[in-house]
Amino acid sequence: MQLSKISDFLWEIPKHDQMLVSGKIYASEPLLKSIKEDRSLLQVKNVATLPGIVCSSIAMPDIHEGYGFPIGGVAAVDIEDGYISPGGVGYDINCGVRLLRTNLFYNDIKNELSSLMANLYNNIPSGLGSKHAIKNITAKEFSKVLKGGAQWAVEYGYGSNIDLEYTENNGCIENDSEKFLSQRAIERGREQLGTLGSGNHFLEIQVVDEIFDFDIAAAFNITYGQVMVMIHTGSRGFGYQVCDDFLKIMRKDISKYRYTPIDRELIALPFKSETAQRYFNCMNAAANYAWANRQIIKSLTEDNLMKTFALTPRELGFYQIFDISHNIAKIETHNGQKVLVHRKGATKALGPYSDSIPDKYSKIGQPIILPGDMGRASYLLVGTGKESGTFLSCSHGAGRNFSRKKALSTLNSQEILGKLKDKGIHILAASSKTLAEELPEAYKNIDDVVDVICFHNIAKKVAKLRPIGVIKG
């Protein structure tokens, strides 16, 4: 792969062959060594062939191989003649992260941590195919979920309107999807609402381990030693089915257009085509499903925290910092041009005084939540709005360092549990296989990823969060 160094922590794949634009990779040399181990750089090059793509095919420092697009990939296409690609969003539509603070400190919970984790594990469904946090939801009510997202969940009794204020898009995107959804997608969605799922999804109890900007931390009402909760999940089987259904439909429709994808996984259609518009509407419905899902899990978590420690809502102080998606495509304006921005394993990174962030954060910028791995740390950052080369995008976490298959051959689940226990991390998982696949060393070092982000002034550090309790599917 032809690769040129532009500056420290920034590399370029020059425009050649069928590329319409160059590829840009934000990475340090140690990260780049890991990135070269899989097909992700080739995928950056392939994305650069997408019709209508503008500026560059972009890779964040957590990049690793995905379906069509690399995970950690960003691409904007012109709204008039550009193509939309489901591979640029991913199967887990609106997989995202929600971060919440509490009034508790580590010393308040350390003796009851095992009880708390057991309560959370027993009351929040997790694992592959997990079902029924909300039983017997009717077809009519499910339709309201897809229209209302997190707003539906609040109206249904999960959480409050203040949560919506601190959720991207207030937890809802308008869509017209019902007549385009398959019955299989609807069936899977009705079964799995309010479930954590499997793989890299998690619910994590964390402690604020380090603060880098005390003024911004104070604005978030967090301080050293405080207990936090991070929720990472998405649209479950519903989003997967939407993606899978439309990949099949698009493969049949692509013969109508003068586009042959360089990679079979990079299937795409003109954004303004009828099929693409149907996909876009169903993608937004899946985004709403994911926001409703995280809203329900947030509420269930709060109930279990109050039950475990015999606290009132006011005493617990369970308030949301932010909820942000990292698998979605959105219509935005950048440099005066209206574009559709694909973010796959990447989040928005808006700076101060942006229109679409909560008023409380206007002067400090949008919160960015970067999960690390279950054995090390995660970060809370804020966007600066100063690096426009990424279409105001940022990494979504640490990113895999090596494959799940390799992780399975590295350590078994009991060895991993022992290592985490030695670090004071209490973990419960529905599957020993998932535990082995999620080996901490299977992920890039989050510190290295954050260093690249901050070097390029994409975002700045606010706090580092250490895991003490983890639920894995």
Q: pLDDT tens digit string along 161-186?
A: 999 999 999 999 999 998 999 999 99
- For the cut 70, the answer to whether the pLDDT of residue 15 exceeds it is yes
CA 456/CA 347 separation, integer angstroms: 16
CA 241/CA 429 separation, integer angstroms: 25
CA 8/CA 28 separation, integer angstroms: 7
| pLDDT score at 130 | 63
Hey, which of 124-133, 203-212, 412-421, 434-443 has the most confident mean pLDDT?
A: 203-212
263 phi-psi bin (left φ>0, alpha ψ -120 to 50, beta other): beta
Q: pLDDT tens digit string along 244-300?
A: 999 999 999 999 998 999 999 999 999 999 999 999 999 999 999 999 999 999 999
- Nearest alpha-carbon partner for 133 in 369, 316, 296: 296
Q: pLDDT tens digit string along 285-308?
A: 999 999 999 999 999 999 999 999
- For the cut 90, the answer to whether the pLDDT of residue 407 exceeds it is no
Sorted by sequence, the CB contacts under 8 Å of residue 205 that are 6+ apart come out as 109, 113, 116, 117, 227, 228, 229, 467, 468, 469, 470
| pLDDT score at 132 | 61
| pLDDT score at 432 | 87
Q: Which residue has the tokens 């934000």?
A: 26
Which tokens is 62 given? 């957590």
- For the cut 90, the answer to whether the pLDDT of residue 116 exceeds it is yes
- Nearest alpha-carbon partner for 149 in 124, 165, 171: 171
Q: Is 429 helix (H, G, I), strand (E, B) or coil?
A: strand
Q: What is the CATH number of domain 4-84+93-472?
A: 3.90.1860.10
Residue 431 pLDDT grade (very low, low, confident, very high; cuts 50, 70, 90): confident
Count CA within 13 A, CB hemisphere, residue 345. Answer: 25
326 among known catalytic residues: no
Residue 87 pLDDT grade (very low, low, confident, very high; cuts 50, 70, 90): very high
Q: Is 120 helix (H, G, I), strand (E, B) or coil?
A: helix
CA 70/CA 106 separation, integer angstroms: 38
Q: Is 411 helix (H, G, I), strand (E, B) or coil?
A: coil
Q: pLDDT tens digit string along 22-49?
A: 999 999 999 999 999 999 999 999 999 9
CA 94/CA 126 separation, integer angstroms: 18
Residue 2 pLDDT grade (very low, low, confident, very high; cuts 50, 70, 90): confident
Which tokens is 210 given? 């380090």
- R_g of the chain computed on alpha carbons: 21
189 neighbors 237 (Cβ within 8 angstroms): yes
| pLDDT score at 444 | 95
- Nearest alpha-carbon partner for 73 in 53, 88, 91: 88
CA 283/CA 290 separation, integer angstroms: 11
126 neighbors 198 (Cβ within 8 angstroms): yes
**In terms of DSSP bridges, do strands 71-78 and 56-64 run parallel, antiparallel, or are they unpaired?**
antiparallel
CA 265/CA 402 separation, integer angstroms: 21
Residue 133 pLDDT grade (very low, low, confident, very high; cuts 50, 70, 90): low
Count CA within 13 A, CB hemisphere, residue 259. Answer: 24
- Nearest alpha-carbon partner for 442 in 60, 34, 25: 34
Within 10 A of 272 (CB to CB), how many other CB atoms are there? Answer: 14
Catalytic residue among 201, 326, 342, 396: 396
Q: pLDDT tens digit string along 353-377?
A: 999 999 999 999 999 999 999 999 9
Question: DSSP class of residue 177?
Answer: -
**CA dihedral for 296, 399, 110, 103, sign (positive or negative):** negative
- For the cut 80, the answer to whether the pLDDT of residue 128 exceeds it is no
Within 10 A of 211 (CB to CB), how many other CB atoms are there? Answer: 18
Residue 136 pLDDT grade (very low, low, confident, very high; cuts 50, 70, 90): confident
* Alpha helix (H) residue ranges in 340-380: none
